[in-house]
Structure 1
C-alpha cells in the first residue's frame, strides 16, 4: 500500500506524471476487477463490524476529485455493503452563513468520526484550498497558513486515535467530457447534471495546479495522499477497496472478550 502514497510536504510531486488511465491494482481483466471489488466489499463489511466492536480507533476517509471523478460511485461500490451502524457519510457543500462566521475547519471538526466509527467525506475541507485558489480569493501567505492549519488539524486527529485516508480521484479531461455528456444524453441522469460543472471545466488546468499544490503541501507522514487513477470506475473502486482493506487489517482489530459475569450463562 505504501507505493500508492504521496507524502511529500514541500516536495516536487507532479500530478501530471500520474496517468488517470493507469491500473496499478488491476487483475488484468475488467470482469476480474469487478469480482475482486465485490469480494473486498464483503470482507470490508466484516472488518467494519470488528472495527465498530473494537472501538479503539476512528477512521476518516476523504474523497476529493474533479466533477464526475466518482465520489458517489466509490461510496456505492466500496462502502455499500457495510452496515449503517458505525458508518456515516458527509457531503460538503458551500458553507452556510453560520459556518462562514467561524473558522473554516469549525464545521469539519464537528463531523469527524467518534470511537469505532467510519466517516467518509464526499468532498472535504480541501475545497477551502481549491475553490478560492482557482477563484483568486486565496493566495500567498494566507494560502500557506491555511495549508499549515489543515496539517495541524489532521495531526491532532491522528494523535487522538483517528486514522486518516485521503484519496484524490484522478480523471482525465477527456473522461470528464464523456461522463458529463452521458448525463446530458441519458434521461435517467439528467438530475446529476449541474451547469456549474461546465463553468468549473473551463478552469481545468487551474484546478489541476491547485490539487498539485495542495497535495504537495498537505501530504504528510500522518495523513498522506493517495492519488487514484480513476478513468476506469472499476479500477478506482478496486484500488480504494484494496487500500481500505490493508488499513483495517493492519490495525490488529479484535472483538472484545465475553465479560466474566456472562461466562457460563445459559439463555433459557
Structure 2
C-alpha cells in the first residue's frame, strides 16, 4: 500500500511544483524528500543544509555523501541561532527559535534563486509529538510532503529502502541541543562536549544512542536490549576517562534506556497530547 499509494502521492505533490528547495539535514526523513524531489524535478530541486554548532561534523559529512548519491544539487549555509538568547536559554519551545532562524535564512534565498517552494522532512508521526519547530515552519509557508501524505516514520524507512537509499535505517539524529534539560543554557562548548562523547561511542560500534548532558554529568542512553551487552563489552574505566577528557565530571548509564522524546516527559500533559 505504501509503495502503490503513498509514493505516487508524494511524486504527484512534487509534480505540481516548478522548483523546490529542500531543508535537508541529512536525516532519513529529509533524505527521502530530497530523493523524491530530485527524481521528479531534477536540477529544479535544491537541497540546503544548515550548518551550526548543533550539527555534528560527522553528520554533515554523511549529508554530503547522501546528496551526492542522490545526485541532487546541495548547498550549505550557516545559521546563527546561537546568537539568539531565546534559543540558548533553552526554553521548552527552543525548537521554535531554531526553525525560525533556519527558515528566515532560507526564505530570502529561495526568493533570490527562484524557488517557489520550501519543503522539509516533517513526517506524520512528528505531528503527534510536541514539536514547536513545526509551527515556525508553517508560519513561514514551508510545506511538509511526508506529513501531507500521512507517511509515518516506519513508512519513511520502508520507502527509503525501496528507493535504494543507503540511509534507510539510519538512527534518528536530532540536533545536539536536544541533549540538554530545558532551561539549562546551551553553549558551543557544551555542544562540542556532547558531540565528542557521542562520536566516541559510535566509533565503539554503538549507533542508536544519546549522551544527555546535565551540568557536569553525562547520561548515556542506549536501547534497553543493548544495556547488558554495553556494560559487559565496554572498558568502563576507559570510557569514563575519555568522557572526563571531553569535559564531563560524572558519567552515568540510563537504566531505562533510550526512548525518543524522553526530554519531553517533564512537560505538562496538555503540551504532549496531539490529535
Tell me whether the two structures share a fold, i.e. TM-score over 0.5.
no
TM-score computed with the length of structure 2 as normaliser:
0.30
Higher relative contact order (CA 8 A, sep 6+): 1
TM-score computed with the length of structure 1 as normaliser:
0.31
